[in-house]
Amino acid sequence: MSWLRRRLTGIPEGFAGELAENESVAASGTSGGEPVVATSLGLWLPGEERLGWHLISKATWDGAALTVIAAVESGTAGSAVLLTDQPPRRYPLEQPGKLPQAVQRRVTGSIVDRHRHELPGGGVWFVRRRVPGQDGTVLQVRADAGADPAAVAKLAEKVSERLK
């Protein structure tokens, strides 16, 4: 019966994750023989939990591999969420199918608007994004390496107050 469930839901063979009740598969591919699955709520990468679309800073496809830069929430400033980018992770895809297009569509579709502000030492991106499975948007703040964390937090707090 597991083969029937996979066929009806689009879950690829070998996928070990547990989809949420309201989560549906948009596309899938394989990397190193392991499934990579794009769903309505996020991207399932080999050996990892689902990464929500709102936590993918950048995803690129070079025709052979999907490269993902994920962000982690590193704090808050007012109602803004401060993000820190993780090192890029590269996933060569043996059978990409429609996965690269689905990832690009979901990542960019989560962005409502964005603005860049320059500070001494580096710039800051302010991005309002939809969070899968939640109403409304979240203000995310991602600073360049070299930007002063105290100045970033102060500015982020001001911006979040103005957007209330």
Closest CA to 141 of 124, 129, 158, 162: 124
Contact 79, 96 (CB under 8 A): no
Tokens of 18: 């547990």
Q: Taking 50 as the threshold, does the pLDDT of residue 42 lie above it?
A: yes
What does the block give as tokens for 137?
A: 């948007």
7-16, 18-27, 82-91: least confident range: 7-16
Nearest partner of 68 among 85, 84, 47, 49, judged by Cα: 85
HSE-CB of 53 using CA atoms within 13 angstroms? 27
Find the mean pLDDT for residues 24-41. 95
Residue 13: count other Cβ atoms within 10 Å of its Cβ: 10
pLDDT tens profile 79-120 = 999 999 999 999 999 989 999 999 999 999 999 999 999 998
DSSP element (H, E) containing 62:
none
